[in-house]
Amino acid sequence: MNGSASPPQPHPHPLRRAAQNGLMQVEGWFDSAFGPKLNPLTQLGALGYFYFWIVAATGIYLYIVFETSINGVYDSIEYLTVEQWYLGGIMRSLHRYASDALVITMMLHLLREFVLDRYRSVRWFSWFSGIPILWLAFASGINGYWLVWDQLAQYIAVATFEWMDWLPLFGEPIANNFLTRGSLGDRFFSLLVFLHIALPLFLLFAMWIHLLRISRPRVNPPLALAAGTFAMLFLLALYKPALSHPPADLGMVVERVSLDWFYLGFYPLIEIWSAGWVWLLLVGTSTVLSILPWAPPFKRSSPAVVDAANCNGCTRCFEDCPYGAVVMGPRDDGRPFPSIALVSADLCTACGICVGSCPASTPFRTSTQLVTGIDLPQFTLDKLRKDVDQALARLKGESKVVIFGCDHGNDIGKLASPDVAVFSLPCIAMLPPAFMDYVLTRGHADGIMLAGCRENECFHRLGVEWTELRIGGKRDPYLRDRVPRDRIATAWLAPSEPGELAGRLKAFRDNLMAMKISAAKDGEKEHSHVS
């Protein structure tokens, strides 16, 4: 097979592959309607943070105006909802619906990252730190429902504390606070009210931790998407305001509740099964989720390695790394440069983007062994160049194309042929622009196709963006101006679109042929002119 520079493209488990294809299909529909930049499915995390801010802002207003005594709270909320419907009521409804939307976004985000396999090896940290977010978000939401002190609150509060009392942690059951009329005092209720500040604050802290090992995390959705989703929530708040149940009465049992199934879906389960089983379910699920990053197959590529003789501390790799795995540090080789790039092995996913950003990664160098400033030991630039040279020597035909693809995009192996060479890289942005220059000028290929993940879906987060900017002369290292752009085609496609890729390749090759023919015609014209 042509171009065997890479270790064989990792094949995901068929079930995961099927799920990925399904996900890509759905994302494709959203891409058509929203465009890649506004596609909500590719920025669920950012949407989640946005909903959190809506909840926080509306929550602060509500917190300031509602009365926190056990006898006054219900009426003050009724006032906000009914008489001040245009302000307090809308705030309350926004508060509820944004919280519910947050649950949907979180669960979709979790599912998506799982299906796309972006939680294992070095990326375990982001996944693992998301589990406390789940607990804190649900706890905050459930806690919020207690504060209305209507029948729903009564049911949920009593059920929650009875459920917690199942754990042998407390002496006297906390549920005694809700035993009968008059049991619940202002003091305990104030504690519940206070929790609704503490829990969301912890949640915010957890949200901060969640982002620590990602560089340039996207926490704000684009304005159009934020506006659209806010408008939707606002209109929903107007159409169906959030309302209270009848007031709580501890002397009566709550018979019927209109549950908010996003937050409170587990409560019927506590009654149908038992407190113990629900504990097992939740703790068990959390445990399983937490250890998923370490489930087999356990693959781990060696982290990138810096070569001091070829690193002068220019910081391009530091700027490009999507995981913050490269930092600049003091040198110990005696060269007078201010710093050297240092790789944190526990943060490096071996995506190779740093290799593509290094100015020393030019294949025009010494032919004996290509050494660059930063390289992947299991996938060296030297080997890539050797394989590319071999493949170029073997290419035949009228429109010879080299395809550089990525391990997480389409399977480009199928496209190899006597006039098409294929190379799969860990990430498309590992390809130094100088290589494109080399292949087109020295290798005499007619064209290069760059096949990577779909825009906004890059497995390594920034690869597609960096490649586009390098070619466009907007991000270092620039692709040299003298390299003809009409001989470079990009195909940012999901792995579920092999047909589309094959079609693009064919169109590209036809185009190259046409260019060749018209160039030949021009050449003849000149010839005849001269002679």
Partner 1 sequence: MSRSLMPGAMKFLGQGAAYLALAVVLGYFSNSPAYIRLAPDTAVIKLSISHGGQHKGECGTRQFANIKETRTTRRALQLCPRERHSVLVEIFLDGERVFSREQPPSGLSSDGPSYFYERIAVPAGRHRLDMRMRDSGRVEGFDYETTQEVELEPARNLAIVFSTPSANFVIK
Partner 2 sequence: MTLIEWKEEFKTGIPHVDYEHEQLISLINELHGEMMSQGSHESVGDFLGELFARISLHFALEEKTMRDENYGGFDAHKKEHEHLLDQIRDIMDRHEDGAYFQSEDRFADELRGWFSTHFRKMDAPLHKLHG
One residue of 11, 13, 181, 516 binding partner 1 per CB under 8 A:
181
Report d(CA 145, CA 156) in Å as an integer. Answer: 8
Which of partner 2, partner 1, none does residue 326 bind to, with CB < 5 to 8 Å depending on kind? none
List the interface residues with partner 1, window 28-47 (CB under 8 A). Answer: 28-36, 40
Q: Does the footprint of partner 2 cover residue 443 (CB under 8 A)?
A: no
CA-CA-CA-CA dihedral for 327, 331, 333, 335, to nearest 10: 110
Chosen residue from 16, 17, 118, 365 binding partner 2 by CB under 8 A: 365
**Cα–Cα–Cα angle for 16, 19, 25, rounded to 5 degrees:** 140
The distance of closest approach from Cβ of residue 378 to partner 2 in the complex, given in angstroms and rounded to an integer, is 23
Hey, what are 461's tokens?
A: 């987060």
Decide if residue 223 touches partner 1 (CB under 8 A): no
CA distance 251 to 182: 9
Task: Give min distance, CB of 35 to partner 1, in A.
Answer: 6
Count other C-beta atoms under 10 Å from residue 85's C-beta.
15
CA-CA distances (angstroms) from residue 343 to 240, 293, 346? Answer: 53, 22, 9
DSSP 137-203: HHHHHHHHHHTT-BHHHHHHHHHHHHHHHTSTT-SS-GGGGGSSTT---HHHHHHHHHHHHHHHHHH
Task: Answer for the pair 307, 382: CB distance below 8 angstroms, yes or no.
Answer: no
Site for partner 1 in 448-467 (CB under 8 A): 454-455
User: 418 is in the binding site of which of partner 1, partner 2, none (Cβ under 5 to 8 A by kind)?
Assistant: none
Stretch that binds partner 2, among 128-136, 384-392, 405-413, 477-485 (CB under 8 A): 477-485
Using CA atoms, how far apart are residues 151 and 158, in angstroms rounded to an integer? 11
- CA quadruple 376, 379, 384, 386: dihedral sign: positive
Interface with partner 2, residue 476, by CB under 8 A:
yes
In this complex, which beta carbon is closest to partner 1, that of residue 476 or of residue 500?
A: 500
Contact letters for partner 1, residues 345-384 (x by CB under 8 A): ----------------------------------------
Single residue of 228, 247, 313, 324 touching partner 2 by CB under 8 A: 313
- Told to check if 230 binds partner 1 by CB under 8 A, we report no
Query: Inter-axis angle of helices 90-115 and 44-65, to 10 degrees?
Result: 150
Distance CA 322, CA 214 (A): 6
> x/- string (CB under 8 A) for partner 1, residues 134-173?
---------------------x------x--x-----xxx
Q: Does 333 bind partner 1 (CB under 8 A)?
A: no
Which residues contact partner 2 by CB under 8 A?
Answer: 310, 312-316, 335-338, 359-360, 362, 364-368, 373, 437, 441-442, 476-478, 480-482
Which residues contact partner 1 by CB under 8 A?
Answer: 28-36, 40, 96-97, 100-101, 104, 155, 162, 165, 171-173, 175-176, 179-181, 228-229, 231-233, 235-236, 239-240, 242, 250-262, 267-268, 271, 454-455, 490, 492, 500
